[in-house]
Amino acid sequence: MYFEAQKLSVGYSGKVLIRDISFSVERGKILSLIGPNGAGKSTILKTISRHLEKIAGAVTIEKDSIFRLSNKELAKKLSVMLTERIEPELMTCGQVVAMGRYPYTNNFGTLTAQDKALVSEALRMVRAQELADRPFSNISDGQRQRIMLARAICQQPAILILDEPTSYLDIRHKIELLDIMRKLASEKNVAIILSLHEIDLAAKISDHIICVKGDRIENCGAPEEVFTGDFIRSLYDIESGSFNTLLGSVELVAPQGEPDVFVLAGDGKGIPFYRQLQKNKQAFSTGIIFENDVDYQVASALSKSVVSAESFNPVSESKLKEAKALIDKARYFIDAGAKIGAYNKFNRELLEYARERGKTILQSPEKLFT
């Protein structure tokens, strides 16, 4: 393994915060640390990047202990982007990025033409060329994140360590950052270790996940092994609401009480209605939804009265009866607008049933709350 931690214990002033940490990362792979605030993710990253003294254990790069390497030797192998804000006086963004080349410069810190080309390339990679001549002190927090990432990239590391790199970034720049991370790993053969709060992003970008909680590593493995609903609930002590591991979405607390509204859904059309009803604390029933339909994922989180059908199979008569029984109990019937085709003809039957029973049929939930 290129980078490895073995039986590492980390903490402050000799007091162990997390013990027996063992993991390894190959070049070209991405390892993400997830876990609650204050769990110790940053402490681990600061220790493996030598910003904190280890308490016990070993950290190696190509079998060499990082604690025996000189600062310049380590800087040529490993680059770090931590959460601490830096305030360089009277420096432009381009000059801040150029600091990443100092492990390779002479005693006077003179940049060669190649160094300058690498600075420009790093700025281009993070899409920040227009910031090169602007004072670093005058740019936004999100722009600072991109400049600091460019500085780390400019260092041409074999290992890149990032602590919460998506902090302060808007959705566009978060997506761009993920793209940059994957390109660095696959095209530049960089091993990347980072901490993330956005577990949906961790699932998408990572080859391996480490879950930090308490004084130990709670779980580790490939994203598909780690990201299960029950485990995420336990890791973050979620007592209300839920996190959908398939969609990467958070759903709030399901409305309580007997459902007074039935939603005819399918094909993802029901989700906006489910969430609007949840906002207004209105319990609802819904169906008939195939279990491979995206509506099913949200409906099952927000309602206990979901009539579902097995994917790729005909809907049984008993399911139709179950849905009709829920319609009977509801005062309102919402038609979410799912297109009726060959495989969901039962929707037409349920809509006609609601009309026959004199139910108030709506195309949106707003009239329920006005």
Task: Taking residues 298-325, report their average pLDDT.
Answer: 95
Which is higher by pLDDT, 230 or 360? 360
pLDDT digits (tens, 9 = 90+) for 4-17: 999 999 999 889 99
- Give the C-alpha separation, 332 to 329, whole Å: 9
d(Cα 259, Cα 188) in Å, to the nearest integer? 55
pTM: 0.84
pLDDT greater than 70 at residue 1: no
What is the CB-side half-sphere exposure of residue 244 using CA atoms within 13 A?
Answer: 17
Residues contacting residue 342 through CB under 8 Å, at least 6 positions apart:
none
Contact 308, 316 (CB under 8 A): no
Q: What single-letter DSSP state applies at residue 67?
A: G
pLDDT band at 363 (very low <50, low <70, confident <90, very high): confident
Domains with residue ranges and CATH for the chain? 3-239 (3.40.50.300), 252-369 (3.40.50.1220)
240-251 pLDDT, tens digit each: 888 887 787 888
* pLDDT tens-digit map of 25-37: 999 999 999 999 8
Look at 96-100, 145-149, 153-157, 362-366 and tell me which has the smallest mean pLDDT.
362-366
- Count other Cβ atoms within 10 Å, centred on residue 104: 17
Q: Are strands 284-290 and 15-25 parallel, antiparallel or unpaired?
A: unpaired
* Token output for 163: 């602590």
Q: What percent of the chain has pLDDT over 70?
A: 99
* Angle formed by the axes of helices 346-356 and 317-329, nearest 10°: 30
Please compute the mean of the pLDDT values over residues 263-278 and round it to a whole number. 95
CA 147 centroid distance within chain: 22
Average pLDDT over residues 271-283: 95
